[in-house]
Structure 1
């Protein structure tokens, strides 16, 4: 619940924004501030990230730079551990992470790639290439961190004790926030369009079987932006990283074999097995996506309207969402939308789309919106109905209204203790070089205590 805990989730976005702007104007050669194992931390990372955090309300003094350096040291230590343990990250994991972060950055610029290029002085494609290594390191670090904290949990008693330990005059103020559920009706392509796309992909399959290069065909025909530029290469993947329809076919293929046409929620796939390694497969694919026409959208709208009428008649929204919604993530919770940043079910104003907030602001608890066009995470077109479950006004945190937030903070605190134990047990034997100007930072004392001593000539 302390202010710095809120900044960790901003760290990567700050750093990516810095990287995007870094080459807009000429800069001096960067200075290495610290080294963990073989991984360097540059002065620009520390200074620029600290400035970004200060703009978000962090203390305007050296302590913020100390915090940034601590976070970067920890990430580099995790990356070093991942390298030692041969932990790998797949191309598809990197692509997905980059796409999510790019969506966030573009959203801040109105969703325009042209505005992005004007603002940062480089194209989205250039930026994606530049941040690839940074994002890969971040994913590696997250994998190791997840291994460290995966068995950590908190009981209701732990949550109450954590809340009781906070001095009354230090209780945080919780901004206006909303708990919502959604029922999503996806627009589905018509039968004629699906047959057209299937036939087109069948023709591509025949060409490949007759000698055409799969890599080239993927670059020409695939509609998967994440893999098309690599000839459809998805990298190494486990079964649970793939939708069931895809994995059921892919894992049965022999090396070099090309699949029949596979239909999944994303469209139609042609898959080729490249390599198998234990429980992982290295595959590539060509994705073709049927078009959604206005008539298809109208059908989805009519269905959403009829469901709205059923809700208005008194049928439970959450039950209908569980039964009818096309959004797999929220339907398992009765349509309740989860806040991935906090782990809870409430969203602060700045975490909501502006258009949605404007609707919620004028609604009462228990009311629903009209069906509205909605772009799903896979870019599918849909209609959604939003149900306002709860609205919290600006208030001082309390255990009744803010249990999810307090539980998340209690869990984070317990995880941090586990992480500190792990750091203390892994610093010894790791090469560490640190800058002199942060030696007085209390939060960095354990790092300086374990700094690699220079060799002294006899």
Structure 2
């Protein structure tokens, strides 16, 4: 029973850990390890360095070291490779465009933490493009595994009785202790570039178009002017894409040209593109582009601030509820669907005060419960600026986990355990149908038995 409780506790703690960035594979260490293959799962391999990195991350999160822990991690790596093999059988794939979008978000978040892309390059001794290239396959595998796990567990739910049973399995002295938590919401308004700024970008692209027609290198101009982080360094090259993979406006313009043709400036959600079609091959096409995104000017920022202030006035006058206004008007996709509320990993509409952005923390530190700020300008992760109003709904004092205050957290942990059990059951059934070979060094783990 003690061993079972420890396993449950580890799973409960793990629910609060976010998905790791793949940057750990780039980290430099002083320890020299001769890498080798330690496991094979069908056509997939697991390297010793892969296991060691995962184990170091496990320890960095405060977990206990030991051979059993390393065995558990190795088994999880084997399960991941089995899920990859099963994804091929079930024709479940993640396309490159989705991986690129995921990479963009991760790179933007990392750049925010490091203080810019140049600091990332300095830290790892590699260009951004090299870093993206090296972790691309890792991210694609993560997304594929998540999709396969979802296929196996997406229909699973937990009942209140299951949640209570899960919670009661904990010894009282092992229950997690939660620090101060706050319930707060935001409505974000981004400044949309107006006609003046859009015209500047269109005119610049028209100028570049003329220069290319007069003999200047498209690739050289893309490297100099394009704001697409994924292709600028490669002269704007995007490679081959199938129909439906790129923005509809981009695709329509590309397919309307003959190879070698240059488009007029084309607007998509990302900005304005100057496109050159290079080749058509069946249902795929190859292009390169120069992307420039219009930036708001002061008039645009003032307009956004005034608009958000008018929404705040309606909320204060009780003409509209904050939650409804957030869903209808907020430009922040992460919080708008939850009525503007910040959520923790379990989906609870409150977060630890320790995890708050410092600017938000110091803002609410001067607020009274139930109040709403005036519009505040802030810098987003991608470096752009926007405005937000913050609603400080509630504050929860530090406390030990209980079913009343923390039901959503406990329910999420219960569901996570249930899904883990489902994956474990699938592994037990499926491993007999898959070729698995484990290095003899890890025989004591009994993974294939």
Q: TM-score range by the shorter chain?
A: 0.7 to 0.9
Q: Is the 8 A contact 2:377 2:385 kept in 1?
A: yes
Is 1:354 aligned to residue 358 of structure 2?
yes
Q: Distance in 2 between matches of 1:194 and 1:148?
A: 47
Could you say which residue in structure 2 is the equivalent of 1:95? 100
Could you say which residue in structure 1 is the equivalent of 2:139? 135
**DSSP 3-state at the match of 2:448:** helix
Cα deviations by residue, 1:168-202 (Å, 9 ceiling, x for unpaired): 44432223222321111111212122123234445
Is 1:399 aligned to residue 400 of structure 2?
no
Q: Distance in 2 between matches of 1:120 and 1:250?
A: 36
Q: Is the 8 A contact 1:349 1:357 kept in 2?
A: yes
- What residue ranges of structure 2 are gaps of 5+ in the alignment? 1-7
- What residue ranges of structure 1 are gaps of 5+ in the alignment? 450-458
* Aligned-pair CA distance for 1:392: 2.0
* Aligned-pair CA distance for 1:420: 1.8
Structure 1 residue corresponding to 2:10, chosen from 3, 16, 29 = 3
Q: Distance in 2 between matches of 1:402 and 1:367?
A: 24
Is 1:344 aligned to residue 351 of structure 2?
no
Query: Normalising by structure 2, what TM-score?
Result: 0.81
Could you say which residue in structure 1 is the equivalent of 2:202? 198
* Aligned-pair CA distance for 1:149: 1.7
**DSSP 3-state at the match of 2:183:** strand
Is 1:435 aligned to residue 439 of structure 2?
yes
- Cα gap change, 1:383/1:38 in structure 2, threshold over 3 Å: closer, same or farther? same
**DSSP 3-state at the match of 2:370:** coil
Could you say which residue in structure 1 is the equivalent of 2:448? 448
* Aligned-pair CA distance for 1:44: 2.2
* Aligned-pair CA distance for 1:384: 0.8
Q: Is the 8 A contact 1:82 1:140 kept in 2?
A: yes
- Cα gap change, 1:275/1:255 in structure 2, threshold over 3 Å: closer, same or farther? farther
Could you say which residue in structure 1 is the equivalent of 2:51? 46
Query: Normalising by structure 1, what TM-score?
Result: 0.79
Q: Distance in 1 between matches of 2:213 and 2:417?
A: 56
Structure 2 residue corresponding to 1:19, chosen from 18, 25, 50 = 25
Q: Distance in 1 between matches of 2:172 and 2:282?
A: 55
* Aligned-pair CA distance for 1:411: 1.9
For this pair of structures, how many residues does the alignment match? 436
- Cα gap change, 1:212/1:113 in structure 2, threshold over 3 Å: closer, same or farther? closer
Could you say which residue in structure 2 is the equivalent of 1:455? none
Q: Is the 8 A contact 1:232 1:284 kept in 2?
A: yes
Could you say which residue in structure 1 is the equivalent of 2:5? none
Is 1:78 aligned to residue 78 of structure 2?
no
**DSSP 3-state at the match of 2:120:** helix
**DSSP 3-state at the match of 1:342:** coil
Judge which range, 217-226 or 127-136, deviates more. Answer: 217-226
Q: Distance in 2 between matches of 1:259 and 1:151?
A: 46
Cα deviations by residue, 1:243-268 (Å, 9 ceiling, x for unpaired): xxx43774797486687755444323
Q: Distance in 2 between matches of 1:409 and 1:293?
A: 46
Could you say which residue in structure 1 is the equivalent of 2:66? 61
Cα deviations by residue, 1:83-117 (Å, 9 ceiling, x for unpaired): 444543333222222233334444443x2444434
**DSSP 3-state at the match of 2:59:** helix
- Cα gap change, 1:172/1:277 in structure 2, threshold over 3 Å: closer, same or farther? farther
Q: Distance in 2 between matches of 1:144 and 1:357?
A: 38
Q: Distance in 1 between matches of 2:419 and 2:275?
A: 40
Cα deviations by residue, 1:228-251 (Å, 9 ceiling, x for unpaired): 345352765786x87xxx437747
Q: Which aligned pairs between 1:137-216 and structure 2 lie closer than 5 A?
A: 137-201=141-205
Q: Is the 8 A contact 1:98 1:135 kept in 2?
A: yes
**DSSP 3-state at the match of 1:291:** coil
Judge which range, 99-108 or 252-261, deviates more. Answer: 252-261
Cα deviations by residue, 1:321-345 (Å, 9 ceiling, x for unpaired): 2333223443333222344x43333
Could you say which residue in structure 2 is the equivalent of 1:321? 326
Q: Distance in 1 between matches of 2:61 and 2:360?
A: 24
Q: Distance in 2 between matches of 1:281 and 1:173?
A: 55
**DSSP 3-state at the match of 2:20:** helix
- Cα gap change, 1:319/1:135 in structure 2, threshold over 3 Å: closer, same or farther? closer
**DSSP 3-state at the match of 1:41:** strand
* Aligned-pair CA distance for 1:58: 0.2
* Aligned-pair CA distance for 1:150: 2.2
